[in-house]
Structure 1
Amino acid sequence: MRTVDSRRRFLRTLLSGATTLAIAPALLRSEAAFAGDPARFAEGLRQHPWLAGWKSVGAESLGPTTVELDGRLPDGFAGTLYRNGPAWTERAGFRYEHWFDGDGMVHGWRFGKGRVTHQARMVATPKFTREQQAGRFLYPTAGTSIPDMQPVRNNDDANVANTSVTVIDGRLFALNEAGSAFELDPDQLTTIGPVTWRPDLAALPFSAHPLVDRDGSSWNFGSLSLMGGNGLLVWHIGADGRLVSADVLETPVHGYLHSFAMTERHLVFALIPFRYAEGRGAFFERLRFQPDQALRIAVVDKNAPSEARWFEADFAAVYHFADAHERSGRIVVRAVQHADLDAARSPMRAAMNGRAETHGGNGTLRELVLDLRNGRARWEDTGIAGIEFPVFDARTPLDRAARLYAPAQTNESTVPYFNAVASFDLARGRQQVHRYGRDVLVEEHLFVPRPGGRRPDEGWLVGTLLDGARGRSGIAVLDAQRVGDGPLAQAWLPYAFPLGFHGHFAAV
């Protein structure tokens, strides 16, 4: 095991000289332009109004706008839903082709006195600020090659801060896969700037899916493969927002991962095997998943974050994990697996190009069983398909599977996206579904615990919606134990904005 001093020396070496700029040949290198056509997208939008979910915004802020709630908020439900997603996707006749490329816009939905107030603001990263001034895209992105690309000094010169948000000790952070967390003012949503948890860790990746432990601290990772090497940087941030530790977990192979799972004792990282296609281009343009190779899984003891026990399982393309529990020498992790590898590499690519093709990216829920006694791993089917973005109540006992909640796609949908929210209690074989309507696009619904509640799943779901046909975005609150009954309260704004990815509910 490395000592603290030797680990810090390793990090200093990683950050020295050309290594810091190794992001260019990995995640951020671009050469010739292969962009979408804004005119073609505009024509598609006229024919298919639901494509508003992938339309570019043209203003740096929205709102604040206050609307009345239809229905009644339950007693105890109060706070702000923060959400993040790619929103600025067009400049000077050039349109991004990959959904992950758009600059981030953070939304705040504040509940109170039978009303909800919405406001949103672009994250003022160096990339966004400089491109606003220039009037065109300047810097490399993850999935679209950019013409006349400008050089970058480090990850944060190209950070779009567009994937998720988290709140730690009252501080709001916008998160992306490959760069720093950007701190925002939680009330005004103005950008404070990138966070440096320790001087020698400046601009290193702080990924978009931190997990909150039961002591209030947060675990996260940064993929060093996005900087041209192998390894994971394992972050541990205290409940007070201060760095507890940052350890390098060396990996035997290089693989892609977007999120991870956690039990009471362990962190679980799954490395999806991939290779780079020949030639030049952006990261996702060149990335090719390798289904003929095994998925490599690291099980990391929280008391020794630089060490791992490695497992192998059949290949799986996974972006998002649900819960994980540990019992009788086994860890069971549930994840959404995608069989269509092209759709996994570039989700909703057709929509980004203004086409209304069938969406092949919705996943199936599977269980990854890791036997700590014999070192074997296997996948098991659950029979659940057509979902993504699963969440659960973190108060669920740590030795059992949790009830899951997720957007779902039902046969009644007229658009190639989710149109319902569902709950799944696999242990009891129970499922509930609420369908919002044939023309409504449904985003991630977060679980909000009932204050003072002691039983798992005693609380609510809060999630956002898009009704493209009526040109409006909305929000709904449901009873988590009675999802099939539909919203307790719901509201629609007089305007629409692009779909996002992930959020965080800050209760008051």
Structure 2
Amino acid sequence: MDRRELLRRLAAAGSAPFLLPLAGHADGTNTPDSWQTAFEASTAPWKPGFASLPGDLPPTAATVRGRFPDAVTGTLYRVGPAGHEVGGERYHHWFDGDGMAHRFVIDGREVRHQGRYVATTKRVREARAGRRLIEGFGTVFAGSEPLSSPDDMNVANINMLPIGGELLALWEGGSATRLDPQTLATRGLKTWRADLAGVPFSAHPKIDPDGTVWNFGVSASNGLLVLYEIAPDGALRRADARPVSHLPMVHDFAVTDRHLVFLMPPLVYDAARKQAGASFLDAHVWRPELGMRALVIDKKDWQRQQMLALPAGFLFHLGNAWEEQTAGGTVIHVDYVRAPDASSLFTSTRELVRGRYVRGPQARLTVARLDLGAGRATQVEWPLEAEFPRIDPRRVGLRHREVVHAAAPIDGRPLWSAVARTDVESGASQRFSYGAQALVEEHVVVPDGERPGWVLGTALDYAQGKTVLSCFAADALADGPVAQATLPYALPLGLHGAFVAA
């Protein structure tokens, strides 16, 4: 594909799905809507996890019990939705909240936390106006303005990517946002190349052991999958847009040493629904007859692709993938968290924002086997509910055994109560429970030379109204934290993050 054609395709990928005007009119009032009223009236004890923070949080010392190991001396960056309403109008989906970046600086017996809203164009404009102006992923407001770019609705609230001396706050449908790694101040949008301005850049890049960063973006209405290869120093090596039929909502992917692996659920975009005024989320339709498709792309030659079929299912996240050479050809092993359908995306994660809990379908740790030689895919589903799978970062794309993940949901309350470490080949698992009044967030694996390493992550103790940062020995998770830092306040529940050693 020549440069001119790439420019045309990527420009279409960046804007076309988002240029549709919306019906309705703004009345300019600040009367709370029904969602805000419902949240205020909710008596759910866990609702602080979905409350809004009124402003930034200055650097604050935590109370530390124990001592954090030398290997975790450094900074844990996290981000998540923290601004759910403006002017009495509350978002209608958890994933819509304005992003707040967090910085946990760890040094032995000292931990300091800082939180700062990402000053996206959307947040700055709406704060000045005192009301919502732009639609969200799962919310359409009366009088929402037509969009000129996906970055008009960018809330920078899903993940963090430290790269080339920069810190990027990642969204899903548009650009990454540059932050100062020391102050968390917003430095503007990241444009990898002029023709990539505003083009979707996923929130789940993968980093090879040699530091190469791989990522993708989805333009569902154009049927284009955008691929990125980025050098360890942050320089873009190449980018291209590849056509994919029935391209669904894709949140995450995996890499092996030779391939990119996409598991594509049958949740596909319907432009007619968007034109009728639906949110971007509600413009998607569940089409189980398409099944789950596994798209495998050669890292060196993106035109070399193979599609395999799995039973219909839905996923947010993958753990890792690796490949082996057999007599019949290449076999790829990939672990992911599979749900039978996408109903949780439309109901469970939506109702949380008005302080209601709706139990969604169970999502379980699953290992798929993609036999490229035979063109056949199979999978094994472990009887273990899970989310937020993470591995030792040194094993990305290589054979691994253990996955760290959130686990153990409790009936009558959302999300998870424990962190677990599971052997994906045997299904054996150990876990630590934070208790019946805590909500567990993502935990990451921190390497420590030849040792098993450490597991580092946060949880909301809503009984105390405080957020805790815990560190565990990776091979003794069930023994509990070796160190724990307790903040003097509760943070809204976030999504993903990354650790950077000092």
Structure 2 length-normalised TM: 0.92
1:304 is the counterpart of 2:301: yes
Q: CA deviation at 1:30?
A: 4.5
CA distance in 2, matches of 1:429, 1:23: 41
1:82-108 Cα offsets, whole Å, 9 max, x none, are 001111111111111111111111100
Q: Which amino acid aligns with 1:408?
A: A
- Distance in 1 (CA, whole Å) between partners of 2:15 and 2:483 is 49
| Residue range with higher mean Cα deviation, 130-139 or 143-152 | 143-152
Please state if 1:315 is matched with 2:312: yes
Q: Partners in 2 of 1:166 and 1:485 — Cα distance?
A: 31
Displacement of 1:314 in angstroms is 1.6
On the 8 A contact 1:266/1:301 being kept in 2, the answer is yes
Query: 1:417-453 CA distances to partner (integer Å, 9 max, x unpaired)?
Result: 2111111114355311101111011100000001xx1
Structure 2 unaligned blocks of 5 or more: 26-31
Measured in 2, the distance between the counterparts of 1:307 and 1:159 equals 32
**1:373 is the counterpart of 2:373:** yes
Query: Alpha carbons of 1:427 and 1:341: their partners in 2 closer, same or farther (altered >3 Å)?
Result: closer
Q: Deviations over 1:266-296 (max 9, x none)?
A: 0011222225374321011232221222222
Q: Following superposition of structure 1 onto structure 2, how do residues 263-342 of structure 1 map, counting pairs within 5 Å?
A: 263-273=256-266, 274-276=268-270, 278=273, 279-327=276-324, 328=326, 329-342=330-343
Instruction: Say whether 1:500 aligns with 2:497.
Output: no
Distance 1:351 1:398, change over 3 A: closer
Q: Which moved more, 1:124-133 or 1:339-348?
A: 339-348
Contact kept in structure 2, 1:415 and 1:438, CA below 8 Å: no
Q: How many angstroms apart in 1 are the aligned matches of 2:85 and 2:210?
A: 43
Aligned partner of 1:417 in structure 2 is: 415
Give the 3-state SS of the residue equivalent to 2:173 in structure 1.
Answer: coil
Which residue matches 2:212?
217
Query: Which has the larger displacement, 155-164 or 280-289?
Result: 280-289
Provide the residue aligned with 2:154 in structure 1: 159
User: Residues of 1 paired with 2:490 and 2:22: CA distance?
Assistant: 32
Partners of 1:80 and 1:74 lie apart in 2 by 13
Instruction: Specify the alignment match of 2:112 in structure 1.
Output: 117
The DSSP-based 3-state class of the residue aligned with 1:281 is: coil
Is this contact kept in 1: 2:156–2:171, CA < 8 A? yes
How far 1:402 moved relative to its partner? 2.4
Moved more, 439-448 or 253-262: 253-262
Residue 341 of structure 1, CA deviation? 2.4
CA contact (8 A) 2:161 2:498 kept: yes
Aligned length, in residue pairs: 488
**Residue of structure 1 equivalent to 2:62:** 67
Structure 1 residue 410 displacement after superposition: 4.9
Map 1:51-90 onto structure 2 (within 5 A).
51-59=47-55, 61-90=56-85
2:134 to 134, 139, 143: 139
**Partners of 2:37 and 2:194 in 1: how far apart?**
45
Bigger shift: 272-281 or 122-131?
Answer: 272-281
Partner letter of residue 11 of structure 1?
L
Confirm or deny: 8 A CA contact 2:14 2:200 kept in the other structure: no
Amino acid of the structure 2 residue aligned with 1:294: G
Segments of structure 1 that go 5 or more residues without pairing to the other structure are: none
Distance 1:11 1:108 in 2: 37
1:140 deviation in Å?
1.8
Deviation at 1:232, TM superposition (A): 0.8
RMSD: 2.1
* 1:398 Cα deviation after fit: 5.7
TM-score (norm: length of structure 1):
0.91
2:477 match: 483
The alignment partner of 1:427 has SS state of coil
CA contact (8 A) 1:442 1:466 kept: yes
SS in 2 for 1:390: strand
Partners of 2:33 and 2:290 in 1: CA distance: 31
One-letter amino acid of the counterpart of residue 334, structure 2: V
Q: 1:67 to 1:79 in 2, by over 3 A?
A: same
Structure 1 residues 429 and 337: alpha-carbon distance in aligned structure 2, compared to 1, 3 A threshold: closer
In 1, the alpha carbon distance for the partners of 2:496 and 2:151 equals 20
Counterpart of 2:439 in 1: which secondary structure? strand
Task: Say whether the 8 Å CA contact 2:159–2:203 is kept in structure 1.
Answer: yes
Name the structure 1 match of 2:225: 232
Matched with 2:387 is 388
Match of 1:437 in 2: 435
The change in CA–CA distance for 1:111 and 1:262 in structure 2 (over 3 A counts) is: same
Q: Deviations over 1:107-127 (max 9, x none)?
A: 000011411100011111111
The correspondence for 2:457, drawn from 453, 463, 477, is 463
- Once the two structures are superposed, what CA deviation does each residue of 1:311-333 show, in whole Å capped at 9, x if it has no partner? 22221211100111111221011
Are the structure 2 counterparts of residues 198 and 410 from structure 1 closer, same or farther at C-alpha, using a change threshold of 3 Å?
A: closer
Deviation at 1:399, TM superposition (A): 5.7
Instruction: Give the structure 2 partner of residue 107 of structure 1.
Output: 102
Correspondence for 2:28? none
